[in-house]
Amino acid sequence: MPTPSKSRVVGTAAWLGLLLLVALARGTGDKPPPPAAAPVANFAVAPYLQYATKTAITVMAETAVPLTATVRYGLSADLKGTATGQPGTMHELRLEGLQPSAKYFYQVTCRGDGATTVASPLLTFTTACDSSEAFSFTVVGDTQKNPVVTGKIAKLMWERRPHFVLHMGDVVDNGPDKREWTNEFFKPCAELLSRVPIYPCIGNHEKNHPHYYQYFSLPAPENYYHFTYGNAEFFSMDSNQFLTPGTKQYEWLDKALSASTAKWKICYHHHPCYTSDADDYGDTYKGGSTLGELKVKFLVPLYEKHKVDIAMNGHVHFYERTHPIKAGKVDRAGVVYLTSGGGGGKLEDFGPTPTFFKNQNRVDYHYCYFTIFDNVLEGKAFDHEGRLFDTFEIKK
C-alpha cells in the first residue's frame, strides 16, 4: 500500500484541526447569549402622595416599563372619579375638584400593550383641612442610606396617622444613585407615603440631581416653596445656596412671610441656624464654633421680624430643641429652632459644653410629631423604638 505523501498528511491534519476548532467555538464563546429577560411590568416605586390642598392632591408612581397610569378615586370604594396620564415610566396625576377635609379612596392601575397590567391595592388619602380644624404632621430628616432604620421610623410615623410628613433633607445619601431612591427610601416608606403626602426640603446629599425633581412634585420652583395647611403656613428653603439679603430666595421669603395671614408660621431648610454640634462648624473640643451654618444665619433676623414660630432643619444627625431666641439671646418672644436629623444617617454628637440656647438634646434615631389646633401647638419627639423623650407646647 503506498505511503501517503507528507503534504497530504499535513493537509488532512490541518483540516481535522479546523473542524475541531469550529466545533469548540460553536459550543463555547461564539454561542449567541440567551435573550435578556423582558422587564417585568411592576411598580419600581409604589404609588405615593404629594402636595395636598383642600381641593386637590397629586398621586405619583414609577413603573419598571412604560405604561399608562389611571387613578380611580372617590369618597367611597366605588371609585367613580378617573384621571389618566400619558404613557411612560414616571406617573404624576393631579386630582382636582375634591372636597376639603375629606377622606378619599383611590387605586392606581397601569396598563400597556395587550394584557400587561399592574395595579395597587385600594388606598386612601385626606385632603387638607380648614383653618378652624385640628391637624397633625410628623418630621424626619437625613434618612440617607439606612433603609432598616428609615423603615422603622416610617412605620412609627404611620402609626400616628399624621396628615402629612415634613422631610428635612438628605432624603438619600447620593442623589445620582437611582437605587437609593427606589430601594432605600421609597420602598421602606411605601405604606406611609401611599396614604400621607410628604413635603421635603432639598439637602446637600441630593446634589441638586434631577432625581429630586423627578420624584417630588412640589409648588414651583420646587427647591423652595410654601404651602398652607389648616391655620399654618409652611415655608421650605434651599439652604445649599447663600441666603443673604438681596438674593432671590431671601427676597421671596421676606415677601411671602410678610403676606402670610396664617396664625402659625413654620420654616424649614436643611442646614441649621443654631446647633450645639461638636465639629461641623468648628472643633468644639479644641476651639470655638460658629454654632450654625453661615449661609443661613441671615435668615434669623428675617424670622424674628416676621414672628416665625419654629424654624426646623436636619443636616446634623441628632435631635436638638432650643429655647426661643431673639437678638442673640434667650427670649420668650423669640423663635424656637429644632434640629431633627435622626432618620438614618450616621449619628453625630454635641460639643462638650452647653450652648446658651440649648433646651433639649438627644443623640438617637428619631422622629417628631406635631399637632396644631387654634392657638396651641404641641410638639413631641420619639426615638426609633417609639419612646417619648421630649415634649413642648407653644401657645398664642
Evaluate the omega torsion of the peptide bond into residue 221 and state whether it is cis, within 30 degrees of 0: yes
Distance of CA 348 to the CA centre of its chain: 21
Answer yes or no: are the C-beta atoms of 395 and 374 closer than 8 Å: no
Domain with CATH 3.60.21.10 in the chain: 135-395
pLDDT digits (tens, 9 = 90+) for 153-206: 999 999 999 999 999 999 999 999 999 999 999 999 999 999 999 999 999 999
User: What number of other Cβ atoms are within 10 A of residue 88's Cβ?
Assistant: 15
Q: Is the pLDDT of residue 27 over 80?
A: no
pLDDT tier at 226 (50, 70, 90 boundaries)?
A: very high
**Tally of CA atoms within 13 A in the half-sphere of 243 that contains its CB:** 27
For the sheet containing 264-268, what is the strand order?
Answer: 225-229, 232-236, 264-268, 310-313, 336-340, 319-322, 358-362
Domain with CATH 2.60.40.10 in the chain: 43-126
pLDDT digits (tens, 9 = 90+) for 278-329: 999 999 999 999 999 999 999 999 999 999 999 999 999 999 999 999 999 9
- Burial of residue 91 (CB within 10 Å: 0-12, 13-18, 19+) is buried
pLDDT at site 50: 98
pTM over 0.85: yes
Answer yes or no: are the C-beta atoms of 341 and 168 closer than 8 Å: yes
- Residue 55 vs residues 69, 108, 256, 387: alpha-carbon distances, Å: 21, 19, 22, 36
Q: How far apart are CA 55 and CA 94, in angstroms?
A: 11
Q: Is the pLDDT of residue 5 over 90?
A: no
pLDDT at site 116: 74
Q: Is the pLDDT of residue 36 over 70?
A: no
CATH code of the region 135-395: 3.60.21.10
Q: Is the pLDDT of residue 9 over 60?
A: no
Answer yes or no: are the C-beta atoms of 390 and 361 closer than 8 Å: no
Q: How far apart are CA 226 and CA 257, in angstroms?
A: 10
Across the chain, mean pLDDT equals 92
Pairing state of beta strands 103-111 and 117-119?
antiparallel
By residue count, the chain amounts to: 396
pLDDT digits (tens, 9 = 90+) for 86-144: 999 999 999 999 999 999 999 999 998 766 789 999 999 999 999 999 999 999 999 99
Q: Which amino acid is at 141?
A: G
pLDDT digits (tens, 9 = 90+) for 227-236: 999 999 999 9
Q: Which residues of 255-281 are buried (b: 16+ CB within 10 A; e: fewer)?
A: ebbeebebbbbbbbbbbbbbbbbbebb
pLDDT at site 115: 60
Q: Give the three cell numbers for residue 77.
A: 370604594
Question: 43-126 has which fold?
Answer: Immunoglobulin-like (2.60.40)
Q: What is the largest CA-CA distance in the chain?
A: 120
Q: How far apart are CA 254 and CA 81, in angstroms?
A: 40
pLDDT at site 113: 79
pLDDT tier at 11 (50, 70, 90 boundaries)?
A: very low
